Amino acid sequence: MSIANKIENFTVKHRVLSHVIFWVSMYGLLIGRFEPFDEPYDPFVYDMIGFFFSLSYSALFAYFVAYRILPRLLKGSNYLQTIIEFLIGSYIISALARTITVHIEEPMIRIPPFEQESLWEIWTDIPKLFRSYFLYAASLSLVFIFVKLLKDQYSINRHALELKKQKAEMELSSLKEQLNPHFLFNTLNNIYSLSLLNSPKTSASIARLSGILDHLIYRCSGMYVKAEQEIELLNNYIELEKLRYDEGLKVNFTHSIDRNANIAPLILISLLENAFKHGAGEQAGNASIDVELVLKENNFSFKIKNTIGAPLPAKASKGIGLINIKKQLELIYPGRYSFNASIHEQYFITDLKIDLANEQG
């Protein structure tokens, strides 16, 4: 957990204490500015008392602005009414501060006799209230307001990121649910066809399917899986499909990885499934699928080249399955991948490249 997160959690759990700590810290900074001067009373005590009262009405002004004025301005409420309320509130706070200074603070530190302004003089001397109290209170309260706005903005940004993450996880889960049933439906159809023929390959097909289901159910719950696990899944799928097509389909799968990196699950198998659908399901006797997987120095590449029975329209490269794959890639690898699907003569080619330098995301 970052320091910013710890501070935010502390202020949420200990709201009052965090405010006390802030103002005590401000008071300590003000006391640190103490400089001796020639007066008939203890200057340090004078500063301690003076700074206490000054900080008190500065805090009052800060809370008035931070919790009353700014929220209404940010919400776009009646601006004129808010400004009038700000002016009246600032005047009252400044006048109260001057009244407390003259009639409470000064008798505590000054040696009588001394003259005191009347309440009427205090409350009508607006220029002095503005120069000596409003500007001083505003300058000290700006620190509190700035810290509060900074904290609020951080909380808003963190909350937005959490919502975005939750949304991405929900979308990824939805995409996986769209892919898995489609894949399982096709695989079970293959096994069903073999069982009708009483083929000895049926048991081998079930064993392959068991390995695939183990991967889908137990290993794909997270956002990432190991590359070797995906390679094993691809091998199982290919062998299962080869049992179905016999010698009528040539499949060449080559793979090379320099480390067992984390990658998003089910994307590769979906591309491979698409290749079998168009490269074998619509082609007889002379079908081929070439699959190449390479991971070298954080550069991941997955390319499939499969034959097609007849020229496909250009929109074939924008099918629902490929659109879903692009959505999943954008959620997990935004700005760190390239994906192209194209038709070249009798071949349908998909080329996926991912930068895995920040694979943990």
- Angle at alpha carbon of residue 296, lines to 341 and 289, rounded to 5°: 40
pLDDT in tens, 60-86: 888 898 888 888 888 776 888 888 999
Name the band, by pLDDT with cuts 50, 70 and 90, for residue 299: very high
112 and 207 fall within a common domain: no
134 and 236 fall within a common domain: no
Q: Which of 160, 188, 223 is the last residue of a domain?
A: 160
pLDDT score for 13: 82
211 and 147 fall within a common domain: no
Q: Which domain holds residue 116?
A: 3-160
Burial of 319 (0-12, 13-18, 19+ CB in 10 A): middle
21 and 118 fall within a common domain: yes
pLDDT in tens, 84-103: 999 999 999 999 888 988 88
Integer Cα distance of 271 and 323 in angstroms: 11
142 and 251 fall within a common domain: no
User: Over 40-96, what HEC string results?
Assistant: CCCHHHHHHHHHHHHHHHHHHHHHHHHHHHHHHHHCCCCHHHHHHHHHHHHHHHHHH
Integer Cα distance of 335 and 331 in angstroms: 10
| Whole-number percent of the chain with pLDDT over 70 | 81
Name the band, by pLDDT with cuts 50, 70 and 90, for residue 321: low
In a domain, 187, yes or no: no
Q: Which of 160, 186, 215 is the last residue of a domain?
A: 160
Q: Is the pLDDT of residue 329 over 80?
A: yes
112 and 256 fall within a common domain: no
206 and 333 fall within a common domain: yes
In a domain, 188, yes or no: no
132 and 276 fall within a common domain: no
Integer Cα distance of 212 and 189 in angstroms: 15
Number of domains the chain contains: 2
CA atoms within 13 A on the CB side of 251: 22
For residue 208, give Cα distances in angstroms to 105, 183, 190, 255: 87, 14, 12, 20
Which range is least confidently modeled, 34-48, 130-144, 154-168?
34-48
106 and 205 fall within a common domain: no
149 and 266 fall within a common domain: no
258 and 338 fall within a common domain: yes
pLDDT score for 115: 79
Q: Is the pLDDT of residue 140 over 90?
A: no
In a domain, 175, yes or no: no
pLDDT score for 293: 97
Q: Which of 116, 110, 113, 68 is nearest to 92 (CA)?
A: 68
The strands making up 249-257's β-sheet, listed across from edge to edge, are 249-257, 287-296, 299-307, 347-355, 337-344
pLDDT score for 361: 45
Integer Cα distance of 191 and 238 in angstroms: 14
Q: Which of 97, 130, 160 is the last residue of a domain?
A: 160
The reported pTM is 0.53
29 and 100 fall within a common domain: yes
In a domain, 361, yes or no: no
